[in-house]
Amino acid sequence: MRLDGRRALVTGAGRGLGVACASALAQAGAAVTLVARTSIEIDDVAASIRRDGGLAEALVLDVLDAAAVTAALTARDPFDVLVNNAGTNRPAPFLDVRMEDYDAVMALNVRATFVVAQAVARGLSNAKRAGSIINVSSQMGHVGGANRSVYCASKHALEGLTKAMAIELGPLGIRVNTICPTFIETPLTRPFFENAAFADDVLRRIKLGRLGQVEDIMGAIVLLASDASALMTGSALMLDGGWTAE
């Protein structure tokens, strides 16, 4: 499960799951490039990784800008590992969903993921190198959820995209999988759990009886990035505490 000598790209790397993904890959020996729209957070994360003895650089890039993504990644050496982590959610009852929110969620969760993965896969294909693409999905890519119609639609789309990519890229030695976390406690999600009814419902559905922590995804990321999962592609790795088992 070592990644020494490999180059990894992590989108949405400035906070929460992205920081955990980047840290895990660096601890396993990868040279990590952290991507976000602004430099402040990823500069700090990259510096922290370097202080701990890892290899990391920050790349300011808006993954919603397809032309900028293509130009930036084409200009760099191929990445052996991609963690497509950038994503968003705008919860609302189905009858109240605004089209601008629908477009924003689908643009980042699906279109941007597609664009970044395509650029990384092209780089690997042109260099005739194998690689691993990890799309950060969700348990909501396998079930439905109240007030999450658009988010569920985007993550179900991501699961289908991952399987199709795995079929096409497998002959090139490029593996494509998803990780599917349950609710992970981060500064962005913590306010949701101030609603006692919501918190009780979530914990009832998570059979292990606790929210996920960012550390819970780190081992899974290294597993899918490394040769330890050499025969895994087109798969969804559930990190949902048993939510979807019911």
| Residues classed as catalytic | 151, 155
- Which secondary structure element, helix H or strand E, spans residue 103, and what is its range? helix 99-106
Strand residue runs (E) in 163-209? 174-181
List Cα–Cα distances, 29 to 169, 182, 226, 231, in angstroms: 25, 27, 11, 21
- Tell me the C-alpha distance between 234 and 26, whole Å: 25
Q: Phi first, then psi: what are they for 19, rounded to 5°?
A: -65, -45
- Tell me the C-alpha distance between 231 and 37, whole Å: 34
- Are the C-beta atoms of 108 and 36 separated by less than 8 Å? no
- Provide the β-strand partners of residue 31: 7, 55
